[in-house]
Structure 1
Amino acid sequence: MNTPDSSSSAATTANGMLFVASDVEPADEADFNRWYDQEHVEERARIPGFLSGARYFSLEGGRKYLGLYRTESLAVFGSAGYRAAFEKQTPWSVANLDRMRRPVRRVCAVRAVTGFGSGSHVVVLPLPAAADAEALVQGAARIGQQLKKEQAGFVQSYLLVPDTALSTPLPRESTEGRVLQPLLVIETSSEAAARSARATAATAFDADPAGGWLLALGWKLTAAELA
């Protein structure tokens, strides 16, 4: 989907996104990163219905590590292929999933997509849950169009709307006070553009820009590269 959606029916055809963020103890980081880079991203990208997997590293805010995995639809997260990924986890996966600290796992519909391509930098801006979900989608589409028109270095933006049933927590994820906030994601071609876009979006949504994560892309793998 490369254009902003304009109706609730778009939610049924939206891409899905697995959003996984965490910190890791310094002593575990070397093996954690090898696992992610040599096994985990490829393993996920090979699941039928997955389109890509990407790793990001925090420059400011949020968790130190973020993985974004795009899928054809939310239905992929109920598929036999996705279930098998959990039933046949390697010992390396089990060990490193347990090393995640303050983990955040969300399975989301990708809405209000504006632009296309992958940026070198990403903003993740948590937004308050809205009583009118479609109004929030339309607001995300409007800010995306504004950034596309006015922000040098803008690449793409989209709203991640968590699915309550599918967003089950990771083993070490706290469930006390767990809130599934919508997440506005903005991809840009530079850190400066990301900072500027974060400020603009925060103002538009009356959000605190300091609450927006700023991350740099480590690397990305598409399913097409594994064919």
Structure 2
Amino acid sequence: MPHHHTIQQTSDAMGELFIWTDVDPAHEQDFNRWYDLEHMQERAAIPGFHWSRRYHSKTCTRPYLALYRTESLKVFTSDTYRQAFTKQTDWSVRNFSRMHNTQRRVAAVTLAYGAGTGAGIALICLGSLAVAEKALPLCKTLAQAAEGIVSAKILTPDPVLSTPLPSENTTQRLLEPYLIIDATKLSEANKAAAAIAAQLGLPEQACHSFDLLWDLQAGDL
């Protein structure tokens, strides 16, 4: 798949649903069972969805991340997706209520470097579209100079489609782009993220890392 030289934002762009959250520790086991036994499959089965992936961070205060790739942003305006989003199962409703400090974003995908899924990812909160535009050309240069970098992409949230979940504080809501770096080793993803953040003048706190829990391809259902 060809890489992009500009940040993608149109409805024809590939999409990703991005859910980044903490959860009530008392219900964490049920939260993980729900994700693994119901929610991942439900989303991957929606027409236009390509895959579902779950991640976990050992260091981030918001430790759970789920990503869902779609054919385009238009999938999120389809009747099938609307029904899935507005008519949740009882198990889903219970677990959504247990989430804390959640970020739900529907984003256009800009392919910056490589292809494939790594054992872990580094995530950089870019702050603004202007910074995302500066980050794009850095990805290829720094990834090629590092070991084990599989791919890199920038996610740019769509303000209309990124409907917040009840557990998000909307008074301080920032629809910032994210840079995600996949690598064979989490340590290598972190090194690349730190180098990019330094060149962009971003603080260390803008960088986070996650281990891949599992991946579900729509074609496997």
Q: Where in structure 2 are the equivalents of 1:81-92 lying within 5 Å?
A: 81-92=80-91
Which of 143, 161, 174 is the aligned partner of 1:148?
A: 143
Aligned length: 221
Q: Which amino acid aligns with 1:136?
A: A
- Partner residue, 1:55: 54
Equivalent pair of 2:8/2:108 in contact (CA under 8 Å) = no
Equivalent pair of 1:74/1:109 in contact (CA under 8 Å) = yes
Deviation for aligned residue 1:89: 1.5
Q: Where in structure 2 are the equivalents of 1:16-31 lying within 5 Å?
A: 16-31=15-30
Equivalent pair of 1:112/1:140 in contact (CA under 8 Å) = no
Deviation for aligned residue 1:26: 1.2
| Alignment gaps of 5+ in structure 1 | none
Deviation for aligned residue 1:28: 0.3
Deviation for aligned residue 1:209: 2.4
Equivalent pair of 1:61/1:212 in contact (CA under 8 Å) = no
Q: Which moved more, 1:200-209 or 1:27-36?
A: 200-209
- Secondary structure in 2 aligned to 1:60? coil
Equivalent pair of 1:5/1:111 in contact (CA under 8 Å) = yes
- Partner residue, 1:220: 215
Q: Give, in whole Å, the separation in 2 of the partners of 1:40 and 1:52.
A: 12
Which of 172, 181, 189 is the aligned partner of 2:184?
A: 189
Q: Which moved more, 1:49-58 or 1:7-16?
A: 7-16
- Partner residue, 2:157: 162
- Partner residue, 1:77: 76
Deviation for aligned residue 1:11: 4.1
Note the aligned Cα RMSD (angstroms): 1.7
Judged with a 3 Å threshold, the aligned counterparts in structure 2 of structure 1 residues 153 and 87 are, in CA distance, closer, same or farther, namely same
Q: Give, in whole Å, the separation in 1 of the partners of 2:15 and 2:8.
A: 15
- Partner residue, 2:121: 122
**CA displacement 1:81-121 (0-9 Å, x = unmatched):** 10110233111011001110111101100014311000111
Q: Give, in whole Å, the separation in 1 of the partners of 2:105 and 2:63.
A: 16
Deviation for aligned residue 1:4: 2.7
Equivalent pair of 2:126/2:132 in contact (CA under 8 Å) = no
Judged with a 3 Å threshold, the aligned counterparts in structure 2 of structure 1 residues 127 and 87 are, in CA distance, closer, same or farther, namely closer
- Partner residue, 1:204: 199
Matched, 1:136 2:135: no
Deviation for aligned residue 1:225: 0.9
Q: TM-score, normalised by structure 1?
A: 0.91
Deviation for aligned residue 1:10: 7.5
Q: Give, in whole Å, the separation in 2 of the partners of 1:122 and 1:23.
A: 18
Deviation for aligned residue 1:224: 1.0
Equivalent pair of 1:62/1:213 in contact (CA under 8 Å) = no
Q: Which amino acid aligns with 1:171?
A: P
Deviation for aligned residue 1:141: 2.8
Q: Give, in whole Å, the separation in 1 of the partners of 2:86 and 2:42.
A: 13
Deviation for aligned residue 1:12: 4.7
Q: Give, in whole Å, the separation in 2 of the partners of 1:55 and 1:16.
A: 16
- Partner residue, 1:33: 32
Q: TM-score, normalised by structure 2?
A: 0.94
